[in-house]
Every structure is written in C-alpha cells, then in structure tokens.
Amino acid sequence: MKSREHISDEQLLLRYTRGDSEAFAALVHRYERELFAFLARFLGDATLAEDVFQETFLQIHLSADSFDVSRRLKPWLFTIAANKARDAMRYRLRRPAAELDAPVASGQDDVHFIDLIPANIPSPTTRIENHEASEAVQSIVRQMPENLRIVLLLSYFYDFAYKEIAEILSVPLGTVKSRLHLAVRQFARQWALAGPSLREKKDAE
C-alpha cells in the first residue's frame, strides 16, 4: 500500500482497469474509514452501513471502465454510496453474496472482489465511545429528515462544495443551499435543547 500512497484516486482506478488488483485494494483502504463513517451516520446502522460500503465498491468495480479519469473520483464514489444508502433505507434489499465473488479484473481469476473488501470496517465512533457530546451530535443528525441529513453530512462532515453536493444528489444548486440552511437551523435548535442535559451530566461526573 505504501508505494501507492501518493497516487491519485483516479490513477489508482485507471491502474485497476489495466489489471492491477492491488490498486483497487489500495483505493478501498483509502476510503474505508471516511466512507464507512458517512454511511454509518447517514443510515444510523453500522451493519447496514457495512453492507452498503461493499455494495458501493462492487459498483465501482463493475463501472470502473466507464469512469472518466479526467474527473475527480471522490464525488462519484459518494454519489454511488448515497444512492445505494437511500435504496437500502427504502427497501432494505441485500445483494446476493454470489455477486461479490466475481473476478476483480481480466486475467485475475484467482483474485475476487470480496477479497479486497476489509472485514470488520472500523466504527466511526471507535475513538469517541462514551463521549456525550459526540453521541448527542450523532443522535440529532440521525433524527433529521433524510434529505436534510445527507446534505449536512456531505457539507459539514466531509467538506464537499455545494456544486459537488448538487452533483452527488442530482439536485439543483439552489436546492442544496436551501436544504443546508434548513438542516443547520434544525440542528442548532436541537443542539440548544440538548445543551442543558449535557452540562448536567458533565457536572455530575
């Protein structure tokens, strides 16, 4: 993995399409924390988030040849993840495991896609267990309507620009701005309500 640390996402995917299965593994490794954390926060279910994480990279695997490497890969990755997460929330459908057993690239029949996906993806709360403020933030975010929650996560947690969020969600730029405004206002209102109880818990410790 070290030899690939400074290679761009786009070049890793290009190398993969040319038969370098380790390049795909490096790409998965690069995003295993960030993408899983996004999915866990959006879905509110770590097990489902892991399923969708795998579904996302399976789609990357299947669509790699069609990706334009002159574009940034990260928005495309999050577009796929967001779409699959929303599908999972609506239908709770799971892809049969057999589909994950496809070879990762031509000429690589002994290496399968599922071999490149890390088992036991780390939870985004691993470092902050029992941290009351963090739990409160996640609780507020989870209770938001789906359309507000995803915009807030992409903007404030993952630093996507408005234009990129519009592309990821396939909505107009103005819609992104209005939803984000509503999300921030709703979050602030709920945070203000949670503040007194957090202070009481801290004083009691």
Find the helix packing angle between 73-91 and 9-17, rounded to 10°: 80
Per-residue CA distances from 142 to 117, 171, 183, 190 (Å): 26, 22, 12, 12
**Per-residue tokens: 133:** 């403020």
The Cα 194–Cα 173 span in angstroms is 31
Positions of the chain with pLDDT lower than 50, given as ranges: 1-2, 93-102, 104-109, 111-114, 116-130
- pLDDT for 138 equals 79
- pLDDT for 179 equals 93
The Cα 81–Cα 168 span in angstroms is 9
Main-chain phi, psi angles of 103, to 5 degrees: -60, 145
The Cα 84–Cα 50 span in angstroms is 12
Nearest alpha-carbon partner for 55 in 18, 99, 89: 99
What's 154's DSSP letter?
I
The answer to whether the CB of 38 falls within 8 A of the CB of 81 is yes
- pLDDT for 131 equals 55
Residue 103, beta-bridge partner list: 112
Main-chain phi, psi angles of 112, to 5 degrees: -115, 155
- pLDDT for 196 equals 59
- pLDDT for 96 equals 46
The helix (H) or strand (E) run that includes residue 119 is: none
Domains of the chain: 1-124 (1.10.1740.10), 128-205 (1.10.10.10)
